[in-house]
Structure 1
């Protein structure tokens, strides 16, 4: 029996006010603390919080009321975040509002986690290690154009320093530089310093534990909003539900044995990770009709491969291991104004909980690609580092600092890996590219590093780091906050590399509005 409006208003009071665009009534109720935090984050029958519902419908005043009421902006439905849903409306004012609040709430979450992070860092033994990231290819000359980087990680007490040279992606080119990030624990608080050695600038952010909610936060620059609204929305994630690990074998038939290899002087067991799936989705309904499937400008990698333009029938040429999953495009009763997207379904249909033939908001245009692959891991039982005690806190820190590389590695190593430290991980990407992560120069034992010394602590190696590792120096001038860079959820750096490799086999996005192949990356974006 269908629910009445009174029943819906009782079960989903905030959603009901949102659906009917009652922003004044909602503001008054939230100001009077009429609803609990749990009610503010309650999901409707289709999995949306009140804020996600308001964003999808494009109700700007309602979104403002919910944000003022401290609704969680770091929410998502089916993998699409509130910021991405705001982007999909095409409304710059709505996107600016949601993005500004998202950035502030991320800052608060980071600050609230400082005491626990400082405690974990302080308890973990000090170390120095280098993490080499490589994108390689079997195609002649291509590897010379693929990105690579070596993260140099210093950790002493509650202080962490990371040096990197691959700093971004712009105009279809890898952006190189010379950057250092220094995280310094100070009691229950911390500071994060970014040094640009080439420009001679420094930028500092202070993270204070227990920071007040709802303080003013600057809006994103207009060019950040414009860049988001003029680009497809991408999500990339690693599906590990069916993953399994098995020892790789070596030798001839009948004389097979478990495979071991030396990696940077350490004997490692070699494992294969089977049934790992990389999923990539891209949305483009917010783009003008003629720009929804644009050809990517040619990059050096594309030129070396002499890549041809894609077929309109890309899905017909796809290889069997590429599962193309087209998403249905729903009809939409469009408002003349882009500021407000009218629901295409009635409230009776939406709140009934039954599957919908069409959804609310702007009709989605989604392309999805699923790629199965087998990863290879080299695991060492007696490596001087401990994955959970020493590396995971660093990955937590770097992922919070919006480093897409570290966020993806964190996703992978959080799986239930076989015993041992993953000294090397290799993930084959599409057709011509491999991603490889290798740990090396542990405690500066392979090559000397300034202010780092390895010592024997009983039977094990240990590491001593000088204060100079975490000093900023006086030669740097203050720089503005690095807000011109897009957050890591856009994942452009890896998405572009894999998109180019897809084109080699003629399986990149179809130019029609049907959902066909997209790109994907080695982890969640």
Structure 2
């Protein structure tokens, strides 16, 4: 990347909210989804080649925290207008513009002894006064579990272990082995935005042992990108 591109990326970060989001699995429970109007019964449908039982996912809550003391009032208004344009599909009004740096904060009067004597998790403010905001949002999701899917959850976890970070993978393994209903999740629907739902569906699957070895060879024109995995 060029120096100009790096400066643009830094400017975008410095003019945007600092956000942290976490979705805990401790409060998640599953209940059988119901179908029918007068005579309610457990919902069971065919997903591709597999018969599946549908479950409602309860307690799916996203906790998010936001910091914005590094933003000017003009930055906040521009970011709000940009998000409104994006939700309406109006990309033409989302052009990026460089903005001048904010004036430095007042020099702190906190001494080193005062700083180290504060209780853990409650440090004194050394720069601009904090502007923090927290929010929680509940999601309604559904999952379809099939008991005749030819692959088990354990096999899927063995595959994911290769590509998932260790800490996050341990949480994923614990959740999928202790909380998921019996079977394999052949269909998952989770809302990610008010009008957008992410859907993952397994409609067919078969084990193969006749795949040609050429499918596993690195192409001769392959070149490693040193920036692709900088931490490895």
TM-score (normalizing by structure 1): 0.34
Is contact 1:345–1:359 with CA below 8 Å preserved after alignment? no
CA apart distance, 1:267: 0.5
CA apart distance, 1:481: 2.4
* 470 and 426 in structure 1: CA distance in 2 versus 1, 3 angstrom threshold: same
Q: Distance in 1 between matches of 2:45 and 2:59?
A: 23
Is contact 1:333–1:343 with CA below 8 Å preserved after alignment? no
Q: What's the secondary structure of 1:440's corresponding residue?
A: coil
Q: Which runs of 5+ in 2 are unaligned?
A: 92-103
Is contact 1:343–1:360 with CA below 8 Å preserved after alignment? no
Q: What's the secondary structure of 2:162's corresponding residue?
A: helix
Is contact 2:49–2:203 with CA below 8 Å preserved after alignment? no
Q: Does the alignment pair 1:435 with 2:194?
A: no
Structure 1 vs Structure 2 CA RMSD: 4.2
Q: Which residue of 1 aligns with 2:12?
A: 230
Q: Does the alignment pair 1:391 with 2:156?
A: yes
Q: Which residue of 2 aligns with 1:482?
A: 227
Is contact 1:395–1:410 with CA below 8 Å preserved after alignment? no
Q: Distance in 2 between matches of 1:235 and 1:421?
A: 31
CA apart distance, 1:385: 1.0
Hey, which of these two has a bigger chunk of helix by percent? 1
* 292 and 303 in structure 1: CA distance in 2 versus 1, 3 angstrom threshold: closer
Q: Which runs of 5+ in 1 are unaligned?
A: 1-219, 307-331, 336-341, 401-405, 444-461, 488-525
Q: Distance in 2 between matches of 1:396 and 1:258?
A: 34
Q: What's the secondary structure of 2:214's corresponding residue?
A: helix
Q: Which residue of 2 aligns with 1:248?
A: 33
CA apart distance, 1:275: 1.5
Is contact 2:187–2:201 with CA below 8 Å preserved after alignment? yes
Q: Distance in 2 between matches of 1:410 and 1:361?
A: 40
TM-score (normalizing by structure 2): 0.69
* 343 and 243 in structure 1: CA distance in 2 versus 1, 3 angstrom threshold: farther
CA apart distance, 1:473: 2.2
Matched ranges for 1:192-211 at <5 A: none
CA apart distance, 1:304: 4.2
Q: Distance in 1 between matches of 2:84 and 2:178?
A: 35
Matched ranges for 1:40-439 at <5 A: 223-224=5-6, 227-228=9-10, 230-231=12-13, 232=16, 233-253=18-38, 255-287=39-71, 290-292=74-76, 294-295=78-79, 297=82, 302-304=87-89, 334-335=106-107, 342=108, 344=110, 347-348=113-114, 350-353=116-119, 356=122, 359-362=124-127, 363-388=129-154, 390-400=155-165, 413=176, 416-439=179-202
* 265 and 230 in structure 1: CA distance in 2 versus 1, 3 angstrom threshold: same
Q: Which residue of 2 aligns with 1:176?
A: none
Q: What's the secondary structure of 1:294's corresponding residue?
A: helix
Q: Distance in 2 between matches of 1:435 and 1:242?
A: 21
Q: Distance in 2 between matches of 1:398 and 1:428?
A: 24
Q: Which residue of 2 aligns with 1:211?
A: none
Is contact 1:235–1:280 with CA below 8 Å preserved after alignment? yes
Give CA deviations for 1:181-239 in whole Å, capped at 9, x if unaligned.
xxxxxxxxxxxxxxxxxxxxxxxxxxxxxxxxxxxxxxx98655762453233322212
Between 1 and 2, higher relative CO (CA 8 Å, sep ≥ 6) is seen in: 2
Q: Does the alignment pair 1:473 with 2:224?
A: no
